[in-house]
A and B are shown apart, each in its own frame.
Chain A
Amino acid sequence: MQAAIALEKLEFGWAKDQPLLNIESLTVMRGERLFLQGASGSGKSTLLNLIGGVLEPNAGAIHLMDVSLQALSKTQRDAFRADHIGFVFQMFNLLPYLNVLENVTLPCGFSTTRRDKAVLRDGSVDDSARRLLDHLELGGALLRRPVTDLSMGQQQRVAVARALIGSPEILIADEPTSALDVGNRDRFLQLLVQECEAEETTLMFVSHDPTLHDHFDRVVDLHGLNRSGGDA
């Protein structure tokens, strides 16, 4: 099986003499669902920014689908991220001035690869968005509603649909459930996992909530992984 994400001897610190991350190696296989946990301030979000190509490591290598991020220029990394990674964040992921459908199709405006994939799969970008929203139990009248009318749980599901449109290989979720209540949280995870499975998407899920472990193939603790030990 091919690796979707491969980190090697990765070192990063915000300040020169304060290493935050020092990871010997971490490999996430394609289609794998990884749960990354760690205390607040341990550098989880920082790691996701490194994988997203927004931050550059001080040393070491990051490979995504066998492409070395270090070999790419800043703009090429931005393009690579647009083509291959979908993101879901803690809350307020959506642009308030676009309706539900427009929010979901947004990545296709920045990546022709994802647009082409969506069109190939469903005939049009809008149809692709409709299918995903439908699977995530959002549909009908909601599509043209302003996103500010939606509940928090609905907003997070819209964000998932947006992260999945155009079938990126990797979905990165940074504490997407922390703003949801328990019932909503499980339902959200079920739908998320189900869609990732259907799309064969590699899922990297960050959270402090250990009750969610069951949904994942593998659980990794950043403390165990990180020789710098975060800010602890």
Chain B
Amino acid sequence: MILLRLTARSLWHRRSTALLTLLTIGVSVMLLLGVEKVRTETRNSFANTLSGTDLIVGARSGQIQLLLYSIFRMGDATSNISWQSYELVKNHKNVAWTVPISVGDSHRGYRVLGTTEGYFDHYRYGNRHPLSFDDGRRFESLYDVVLGAEVAKKLGYTLGSRIVVAHGIGNASFSKHDDKPFRVVGILNRTGTPVDRTVHLSLQALEAIHIDWKAGVKIPGQAVSAEEAAAKELKPKQITAFLVGMKSKVATFHLQRSINNYRKEPMLAILPGVALQQLWDMVGIAEKALMLVSAIVVMAGLVGMLTVILTSLNERRRELAILRSVGARAWQILLLLTLESALLTVLGVGLGIILLYAGIGLSQSFLETQVGVFVPLTALNVYQWKLLGLVVVCGTLVGLIPGYRAYRYSVADGLTIRI
């Protein structure tokens, strides 16, 4: 088609400005796609954080708060639940398994999680993936720890490394349980979930390191050595939360109701899927805002293109009269200018895709290690293609503005070449 050829040649002739326009659109499209891709990946990794667990039970608080401190290792538990209540649920006839969780200490910024061996049997993420060991084994003796992949990698720990747990959370905790050092006995494989950022030890170990503590401080003059502590009977009195797997899914709601209505202790049982969705909806607002911003950046790119084309139009009035004199219809002039925007947008989108993949390729490891989001080099999904289609449609519609202007010019000028 002659019009497309003319547009292409004309753009090539003005390639320095065209290239800048292209770059503007390309970068904005890259941003849009990038945000959208990171969004998709975060949502996926979010939804994949926990699977196979039917209920999460903790002290009565908010559903999201419970989810955050039990699964995402964020925030604080307002209160604990008693071991008795835990045992009660654990021994319920419809319950297949339970995994208790105790949080509250940390190691160099990473949360420490006290649990039982059942954690390694029952914790599932993604498509019901069990946890697996990169190196070593589960904790067996009292002062053993198992590290998440990121903890080991970032802090440079290997099997046999000695670590000390700090009391409380937060990086700069002064009170350390340095009288009872731990030994790394296992390192988990990467999961892409908060497990990677967790230091796991047994509930008994948590009891041991707190044996000579009360209300957050060491009891003066009552130091108990590591060996002495190990010799004692360590029975946890409280835990922060626990995960429940049901024998039959049908009984889940019934159990949830009974836990929530339990008189002796205020407890909350939540369905992980529902809570994850609710949490995502909250986080999603920020994501949507980010999308909106990148959509506006794309718009700005298109407006930039509009400015460039409109500015060039005055110099090109002669060109339009020439085209009319060699037989171009007035509507073809409109089409010519619209085509120019469309072509620039399509090329810009193409450039944006290239920049996106180049960008992901270059920043993949940074994103994974620093932000904790693994963005794979996968093909664009249907939604992302639709988004790009929308950009092209917008670019073409924007092109109607110079198109119409040119049409007016060429109707007014006719065959008279004005300089």
Contact = CB atoms under 8 A, between A and B. Distances in A.
Contact of A45 (B9, B326, B416, B419): B416
Contact of A94 (B13, B322, B332): B322
Interface stretch (A31-39, A47-55, A214-222): A47-55
A106 B417 contact: no
Contacts of B417: 89-90, 92-93
A107 interface: yes
A54 B410 CA distance: 9
Contacts of A151: none
Instruction: Identify the interface centre among A75, A87, A90: most chain B CB within 10 Å of its CB.
Output: A87
A45 B325 CA distance: 13
A157 interface: no
B2 interface: yes
A82 interface: yes
A78 B13 contact: no
Contacts of B13: 96-97
Contacts of B330: 74-75, 78
B324 A54 contact: yes
For A90, A94, A109, A111, the residue with the greatest tally of chain B CB atoms inside 10 Å of its CB is A109
B230 interface: no
A109 B2 CA distance: 6
Contacts of A138: none
Interface in A73-111: 74-75, 78-79, 81-83, 87, 89-90, 92-98, 102, 106-107, 109-111
Given A95-B319, A97-B13, A109-B2, A49 B327 contact: no
A58 to B, nearest CB: 16
Contacts of A55: 414
A162 interface: yes
Interface string A115-159: 000000000000000000000000000000000000000000000
B331 interface: yes
B12 interface: yes
A147 to B, nearest CB: 11
B326 A106 contact: yes
B416 A110 contact: no
Contacts of B324: 54, 78
B9 A87 contact: no
A105 to B, nearest CB: 10
Contact of A162 (B2, B10, B326): B326
A78 B329 contact: yes
Given A54-B415, A90-B417, A110 B318 contact: no
- Majority secondary structure, A binding face: helix
B396 to A, nearest CB: 22
Instruction: Give the most central of B13, B326, B328, B415: most A CB within 10 Å.
Output: B326
Contacts of A96: 13, 319
Contacts of A49: 414-416
A107 B13 CA distance: 20
Contacts of A162: 326
Contacts of A79: 327, 329
Nearest to B9: A97
Given A96-B13, A98-B9, A109-B2, A89 B326 contact: no
A107 B414 contact: no
A109 B1 CA distance: 8
Interface in B304-329: 318-319, 322-329
Nearest to B324: A54
Given A89-B417, A98-B9, A107 B331 contact: no
A45 B328 CA distance: 19
B327 A92 contact: no
Given A54-B414, A55-B414, A92-B318, A107 B12 contact: no
Contacts of A109: 2, 5, 327
A10 to B, nearest CB: 16
Contacts of A93: 322, 417
Interface of A: 45, 48-49, 52, 54-55, 74-75, 78-79, 81-83, 87, 89-90, 92-98, 102, 106-107, 109-111, 114, 162
Given A95-B6, A110-B326, 12 more contacts: A52-B415, A54-B324, A75-B330, A78-B329, A87-B325, A93-B417, A95-B322, A97-B14, A102-B9, A107-B326, A109-B327, A110-B332
